[in-house]
């Protein structure tokens, strides 16, 4: 006889679902809180309506040019009804299997394999009740099944051009992420338990947060990601000792105080992005790349870009070269007396550095010895999801909006775009935490930096988007800056390319294309994690890993097939690459001791501009 228990007969009592931890609320307290929710909801609606324009007729606006993409999708699907029927049959079969499995669990307590496994690392479904409670497990699997089906269906429709397909896939994912059961009170077990436990006080607090965020955004919902009261730049962020030794309208140059008796002869100049502020490289002492580099014996200089307003609206990409890159390079030489400099370019700062190297090569300027690029793109043919926002209609809409604002793109608009690339982590997780659970956001240095947004001058931003992202002129050798046509093949200095495996902004596949762009020796390295954590990974953290390969085969896939994985931080690996290119050791340089006078203490005043 089998050891397995027999299935119960028709008169057997079904197995009861596990009770979980769903407390009964205090009815009177719950009623009071629901009344408060009603009052706050009324205020929310009135405040929202107060920010709207009066009746001026109805105008349908599609600034992201999404509508036409989905019209094209529908047209293609109507041309092949067989494919639609096959997709629907697949969905029905999946839901039928899910119903069968759920019935087995509910009636007989069977252990069954999930029809759709929960994606590894998906934080939306971390609460144990998503797995152990049959009802919530069914809701979760039903969502995942439908979400996967929807994304697979739109992805396999034939006859769409590549940009339209990418746009459809991107906005389908946005819809799917928004519809997750984790984003709603009654279908999220963690929220439901909290609502019952607190008699609805979490919803009262959550609505208070919504009202505050609307007021802060002047009618637009500006979700607070971090408790910003816990941070202040120059006090507990960006605290590495140093001085501002040069400045102009566009930037300040910081020179950091040495912590070793001797330093490498050739200084290290860092060109960070101006889309965010430089102190991502100098958050806290324990994760500061700048402090670490100083400790390795480098004379470190960093550009701190101004947060531009309408006065600087006509600053173009050329100006970031002639008033940013070149003056920073010259000032670094003046502060050290060195005729040679090593440089790091980060993100768009790396794109500018590439342009600067090509500009220098065309003029026979050989002051830069080596170049390191952190998650930087020079060839934008595979630039990831950001290309969804780059078409003529969207660029025209952006230009009109920037002109209306005074000649710049508001920092919040840029932040929203980047947040959409990881909407579950950077949008919906805060909706759940702040509004449904009614909790205050955490004090997290990285999120504070992420929320410390900067503006983009209209001339620079549109030039960058059109010439790099849309037309890819830099990689094709067709881009002109400061009256010089840029040919990347003239760049012969040694290059170190750092990419990140899960980067949504500068995908590793896109960064890898730079291995074929230059004429000098190139080393490519891929770090674990994403655009920020892949870079900011100090050795002391003992997190993630990185991959290296002595060759640069034609594709990233081929490179990865022959790559070696090393656990931990890549910083020491890069240091071993840079040190031989940095000259001998000389007496440590003190800011202000050479040609340049000290203007103010680091981190300077530009980085504090809101």
CA torsion, points 279, 280, 283, 287, in degrees to nearest 10? -140
- Positive or negative, the Cα torsion across 407, 411, 417, 421? positive
pLDDT for residue 584: 97
pLDDT of 34: 67
Provide the 10 A C-beta neighbour count for residue 539: 13
Q: First CA to last CA across the chain, in angstroms?
A: 76
Q: How many CB atoms lie within 10 A of CB 311?
A: 13
pLDDT by 10-residue block (mean), the chain, 610 residues: 39 42 75 72 63 44 66 72 79 87 79 88 93 91 91 85 87 91 94 93 92 86 90 96 98 98 98 96 97 98 96 96 98 97 97 98 97 97 90 90 91 85 91 95 92 93 95 96 96 98 95 97 97 96 96 96 98 98 97 95 96
- Label the pairing between strands 251-256 and 300-305: antiparallel
How many angstroms separate the CA atoms of 264 and 58, rounded? 65
Nearest Cα neighbor of 354 from 471, 472, 265 is: 472
Q: H-helix or E-strand containing 451?
A: helix 445-451
CA 547 vs CA 61, 495, 510, 559: distances in Å: 46, 17, 16, 10
Residue with tokens 């997190």: 543
Tokens for 170?
Answer: 């991107």
Rg (CA), the chain: 28
CA–CA separation, 326 vs 341, rounded Å? 12
**3-state per-residue secondary structure call for 23-58:** CCCCHHHHHHHHHHHHHHHHHHHHHHHHHCCCCCCC
Distance CA 203, CA 209 (A): 10
Domains within the chain, CATH numbers bracketed: 27-51+61-216 (no CATH), 242-385+473-608 (3.40.50.1820)
pLDDT at residue 88 in the model:
81
The answer to whether the CB of 449 falls within 8 A of the CB of 276 is yes
Residue 5: exposure state from Cβ atoms within 10 A (0-12, 13-18, ≥19): exposed
**DSSP result, 479-490:** -EETTEE--GGG
Residues belonging to the active site? 347
- C-alpha to C-alpha distance for 91 and 142, rounded to whole angstroms: 10
The owner of tokens 């100090």 is 538
Residue 463: half-sphere exposure toward Cβ, Cα within 13 Å: 21
The pTM assigned to this predicted structure is: 0.88
Report d(CA 137, CA 133) in Å as an integer.
Answer: 6
Q: With beta carbons less than 8 A apart as the criterion, state whether 531 and 506 touch.
A: yes
Distances (CA, A) of 223 to 432, 438, 590: 11, 13, 43
Chain-centroid distance of CA 518 in Å reads 27
Beta pairing partners, 269? 301, 343
> How far is the C-alpha of 522 from the C-alpha of 41, rounded, in Å?
58
pLDDT for 12:
40
- DSSP assignment of 405-424, as one string? HTSEE-HHHHHHHHHHHTHI
């Amino acid at each position: 006889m089998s050891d397995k228990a027999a299935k119960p007969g028709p008169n057997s009592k079904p197995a009861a679902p596990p009770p979980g931890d769903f407390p009964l609320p205090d009815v009177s307290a719950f009623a009071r809180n629901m009344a408060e929710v009603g009052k706050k909801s009324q205020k929310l609606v009135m405040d929202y309506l107060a920010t709207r324009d009066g009746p001026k007729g109805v105008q349908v606006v599609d600034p992201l040019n999404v509508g036409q993409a989905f019209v094209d999708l529908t047209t293609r699907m109507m041309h092949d009804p067989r494919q639609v029927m096959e997709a629907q049959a697949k969905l029905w079969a999946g839901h039928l299997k899910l119903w069968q499995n759920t019935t087995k669990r509910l009636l007989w307590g069977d252990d069954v394999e999930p029809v759709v496994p929960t994606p590894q690392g998906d934080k939306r479904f971390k609460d144990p009740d998503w797995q152990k409670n049959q009802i919530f497990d069914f809701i979760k699997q039903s969502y995942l099944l439908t979400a996967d089906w929807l994304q697979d269906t739109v992805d396999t429709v034939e006859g769409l051009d590549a940009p339209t397909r990418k746009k459809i896939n991107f906005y389908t994912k946005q819809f799917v992420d928004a519809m997750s059961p984790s984003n709603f009170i009654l279908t999220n077990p963690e929220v439901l338990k909290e609502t019952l436990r607190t008699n609805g006080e979490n919803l009262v607090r959550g609505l208070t947060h919504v009202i505050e965020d609307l007021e802060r955004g002047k009618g637009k919902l500006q979700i607070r990601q971090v408790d910003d009261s816990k941070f202040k730049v120059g006090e507990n962020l960006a605290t590495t000792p140093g001085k501002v030794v040069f400045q102009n309208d566009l930037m300040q140059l910081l020179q950091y105080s040495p912590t070793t008796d001797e330093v490498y002869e050739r200084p290290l100049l860092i060109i960070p992005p101006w889309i965010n502020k430089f102190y991502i490289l100098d958050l806290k002492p324990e994760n500061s790349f700048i402090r670490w580099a100083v400790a390795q014996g480098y004379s470190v200089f960093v550009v701190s870009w101004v947060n531009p307003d309408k006065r600087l609206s006509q600053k173009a990409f050329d100006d970031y070269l002639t008033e940013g890159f070149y003056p920073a390079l010259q000032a670094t030489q003046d502060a050290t007396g060195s005729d040679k400099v090593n440089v790091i370019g980060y993100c768009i700062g790396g794109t500018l550095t590439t342009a600067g190297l090509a500009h220098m090569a065309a003029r026979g300027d050989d002051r830069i010895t080596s170049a390191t690029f952190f998650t930087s793109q020079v060839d934008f043919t595979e630039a990831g999801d950001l290309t969804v926002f780059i078409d003529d209609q969207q660029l025209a809409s952006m230009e009109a909006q920037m002109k209306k604002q005074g000649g710049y793109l508001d920092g919040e608009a840029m932040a929203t775009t980047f947040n959409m690339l990881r909407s579950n982590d950077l949008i919906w997780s805060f909706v759940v935490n702040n509004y449904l659970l009614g909790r205050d956001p955490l004090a997290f240095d990285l999120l504070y930096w992420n929320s410390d947004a900067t503006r983009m001058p209209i001339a620079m931003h549109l030039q960058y988007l059109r010439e790099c992202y849309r037309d890819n002129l830099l990689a094709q050798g067709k881009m002109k800056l400061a009256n010089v046509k840029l040919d990347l093949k003239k760049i012969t200095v040694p290059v170190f390319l750092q990419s990140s495996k899960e980067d949504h902004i500068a995908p590793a596949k896109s960064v890898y294309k730079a291995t074929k762009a230059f004429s000098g020796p190139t080393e490519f390295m891929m770090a674990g994690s994403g655009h920020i954590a892949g870079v900011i990974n100090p050795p002391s953290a003992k997190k993630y890993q990185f991959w290296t390969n002595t060759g640069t085969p034609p594709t990233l896939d081929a490179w990865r097939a022959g790559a070696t994985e090393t656990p931990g931080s890549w910083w020491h690996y890069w240091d071993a690459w840079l040190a031989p290119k940095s000259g001998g050791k000389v007496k440590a340089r003190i800011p202000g001791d050479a040609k340049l006078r000290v203007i103010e203490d680091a981190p300077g005043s530009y980085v504090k501009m809101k």
